[in-house]
């Protein structure tokens, strides 16, 4: 069909189809820990030393973490793998098995904090031991569980249940009162013993498993965690 143009052509443009409206860019998907997460070339971690009276050689527990969503507001640090090294070869088989299982649980994703209670509830049939500071460990596996607990608190997966400043001040005052009542020779003996962090004769606390329970104001109170038999 012919179209008559009755005016002078001064400009032109090529007809194009209408462009679709610009879509709002979607936020990047939040990355969560799962077994398909590839191991980076470099991981950050911490190494913990375990020295028990049951062995002449120490154990060194290393837990490496992977950083997810780095550089964003959703950046998180999750445990990725665990290694245990020692000169003592007596426990080699079960240590290798334990590290592989724990590392597999870390990489699986989800809640891995249940490992803490599971490992800390393992008891050695030959009896446990007291570590430096008077804290009782029912087994070597339980101490490894405590190390995992410390690490999970360090990266923020577990809440740190340490005492607040008022509780620390109260316990420090009570501890000073108890030590002032002791004979001077006992105080001197404690000063010579670097492992005696609590008054002599303190009982084992059922909550934190530390020899720090003393009788204060007619009630057994722990100088380590503040637990009291009187509530």
What mean pLDDT do residues 131-155 have? 92
Euclidean distance between CA atoms 203 and 195, whole angstroms:
15
Q: Given this model, what pLDDT does residue 130 score?
A: 87
What mean pLDDT do residues 149-169 have? 82
Phi, psi for 108 (deg, rounded to 5): -65, -30
Euclidean distance between CA atoms 87 and 23, whole angstroms:
61
Q: Given this model, what pLDDT does residue 76 score?
A: 92
> Tokens 């997966």 — which residue?
157
Say which residue, 204 or 170, is predicted with more confidence: 204
Say which residue, 89 or 139, is predicted with more confidence: 139
DSSP 12-44: -----PPPPPPPPPPPPPPP---TTPPPPS--E
Burial 61-94 (b: 16+ CB within 10 A, else e): bbbbbbebeeeeeeebebbbbbbbebeeeebeee
Q: Given this model, what pLDDT does residue 63 score?
A: 97
Q: Given this model, what pLDDT does residue 22 score?
A: 58
Question: What are 214's strand-pairing partners?
Answer: 221
Q: What share of the chain is helix, strand, coil (3-state, %, to 5)?
A: 30, 20, 50
Say which residue, 200 or 61, is predicted with more confidence: 61
Q: Of all residues in the chain, what percent carry a pLDDT higher than 90?
A: 38
- The alpha-carbon radius of gyration of the chain (Å, integer) is 31
Euclidean distance between CA atoms 89 and 94, whole angstroms:
10
Q: Supply the pTM of this predicted model.
A: 0.65
Say which residue, 117 or 206, is predicted with more confidence: 117
What mean pLDDT do residues 42-51 have? 94
> Tokens 């032109």 — which residue?
12
Euclidean distance between CA atoms 87 and 133, whole angstroms:
25
Q: Given this model, what pLDDT does residue 112 score?
A: 94
Euclidean distance between CA atoms 32 and 14, whole angstroms:
49
Distance set, CA 94 to CA 19, 87, 98, 100 (Å): 65, 15, 6, 10
Given a contact cutoff of 8 angstroms between Cβ atoms, the answer to whether 21 and 109 are in contact is: no
Distance set, CA 57 to CA 29, 90, 128, 129, 180 (Å): 47, 11, 17, 15, 38
Given a contact cutoff of 8 angstroms between Cβ atoms, the answer to whether 224 and 210 are in contact is: yes
What mean pLDDT do residues 173-188 have? 63
Say which residue, 198 or 86, is predicted with more confidence: 86
Distance set, CA 122 to CA 116, 140, 153, 184, 199 (Å): 11, 9, 21, 40, 29
């Amino acid at each position: 069909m012919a179209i008559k143009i009755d005016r002078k052509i001064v400009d032109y443009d090529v007809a194009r189809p209408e462009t679709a409206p610009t879509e709002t860019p979607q936020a990047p998907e939040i990355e969560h820990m799962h077994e398909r997460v590839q191991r980076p070339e470099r991981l950050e971690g911490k190494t913990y030393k375990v020295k028990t009276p049951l062995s002449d050689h120490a154990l060194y527990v290393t837990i490496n973490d992977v950083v997810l969503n780095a550089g964003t507001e959703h950046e998180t640090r999750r445990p990725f793998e665990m290694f245990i090294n020692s000169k003592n070869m007596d426990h080699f088989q079960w240590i290798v098995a334990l590290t592989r299982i724990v590392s597999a649980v870390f990489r699986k994703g989800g809640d891995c904090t249940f490992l803490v209670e599971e490992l800390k509830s393992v008891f050695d049939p030959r009896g446990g031991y007291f570590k430096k500071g008077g804290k009782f460990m029912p087994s070597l596996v339980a101490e490894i569980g405590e190390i995992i607990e410390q690490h999970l608190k360090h990266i923020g997966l577990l809440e740190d249940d340490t005492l607040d400043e008022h509780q620390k001040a109260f316990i420090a005052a009570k501890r000073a009162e108890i030590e002032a009542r002791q004979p001077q020779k006992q105080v001197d003996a404690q000063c010579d013993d670097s492992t005696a962090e609590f008054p002599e004769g303190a009982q084992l606390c059922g909550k934190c498993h530390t020899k720090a329970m003393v009788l204060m104001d007619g009630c057994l109170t722990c100088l380590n965690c503040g637990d009291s038999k009187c509530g």
